[in-house]
Structure 1
């Protein structure tokens, strides 16, 4: 299916790219973590829940 998708994108004047797939980066990062190539501080950062952004008061 990848080739068909690429042909369609080219016919529409768009360049096919693996970067279109948002899960690609996630899969690569998971692989790095599994293989132990991610430093411990980075692992801790990945495990922390995201905090809501604070809005700055307009003055």
Structure 2
């Protein structure tokens, strides 16, 4: 693991996670589906790099 991973805050307390989730919800609320998808992808990438142990698994 890198220091970025071990020093990263938990996803619930991470300002980047919060900002990406909030922006995705706002885009969804305004029916901007393309933008919402973009922010979901950015959140997944962020989770993979910063919080890999907390990334949800696919079913």
Shorter-chain TM-score: what band? 0.3 to 0.5
TM (norm. structure 1) is 0.33
